[in-house]
Amino acid sequence: MDALLTSLPTLVTAERFQRLELGWGLVRAPLADFAKAFTPQIRTLIGPLVKIPGVTRIDLRDDDGVAKPETVTVKDRAGYVAAIASLRKVWDSYLSVQLIRRPSQYVGKLGRPVFRGSLFDAGAEYRIHAAVADLARVTEVQVGPESANLTIARDIADAELATTLKAMAELPAANPIDLAVSDDPETFDITWIGQVTGGKFIAPSPAPAKVDPALITRVTTVWARASR
């Protein structure tokens, strides 16, 4: 680690990447190697998190020489639920929590998050995140204060679709929900298939050529049941 720190100025041009950060990531080291640089508060925060199997990454930033937590990454529902519960016990400031199921196909990058939330997730937002976390064919969810976006895979099973839409139906009827399909959002090959407005799913007309009409029919039918 000392050798790495010494050689960093010759390995990279730091200003190209804004502030250079070290921690769990592409360059990894045991917690013990960093613990002495953490305040007791940070150690109290991180200690329980590293024991949660579903927590895969903890990012910290350098805040004038003091390590500050920035993002906790989880891989499944158990990790998300446990991380939120752990953080709420010891932390009262904003801290991002994101779910990434698999690594990126691009070297040096994280996988695209299925969702991004925080330790303040509550109500419908928390329940939506928990509901979709283990649903492999739900590829992205974004829940905002006034609208939401949902991206699913083309071959999503009826059971996964029903679970997802039932959770999304908890959002206020006044909040529009944009629906799209993509088997891999990381490639940005995303096709819009309709919007929930006023509690009703409205499909585009004409239907997008890249999408099987049967999928839009399924979404229409399942949403009608889920939103009752």
Q: 91-143 pLDDT, tens per residue?
A: 999 999 999 998 777 776 778 899 999 999 999 999 999 999 999 999 999 99
Residues of the chain under the 70 pLDDT cut: 1-37, 108, 185
Closest CA to 106 of 28, 194, 186, 169: 186
Cβ atoms of residues 70 and 24 within 8 Å: no
User: Distance between CA 123 and CA 223 in Å, rounded?
Assistant: 20
Residue 127 CB partners (closer than 8 Å, separation 6+): 167, 170
CA dist 142 → 98, 117, 219 (Å): 11, 9, 18
User: Distance between CA 219 and CA 227 in Å, rounded?
Assistant: 12
The pTM score is: 0.83
Indicate the pairing of strand 55-63 with strand 177-181. Answer: unpaired
Only one residue has tokens 């509550």, namely 122
User: Distance between CA 7 and CA 14 in Å, rounded?
Assistant: 12
Percent of the chain with pLDDT over 70: 82
Domain boundaries, the chain: 17-121, 135-228
Closest CA to 46 of 58, 56, 62, 63: 58
Look at residue 221 and give its three-state secondary structure: helix
Only one residue has tokens 């990447």, namely 17
What pLDDT is stored for residue 15 in this prediction?
A: 45
What pLDDT is stored for residue 154 in this prediction?
A: 93
Q: Where are the alpha helices (DSSP H) in 91-212?
A: 123-132, 158-168
In whole numbers, what is the pLDDT of the chain averaged over residues? 86
The half-sphere exposure of 14 on its side-chain side, counting CA atoms within 13 A, is 9
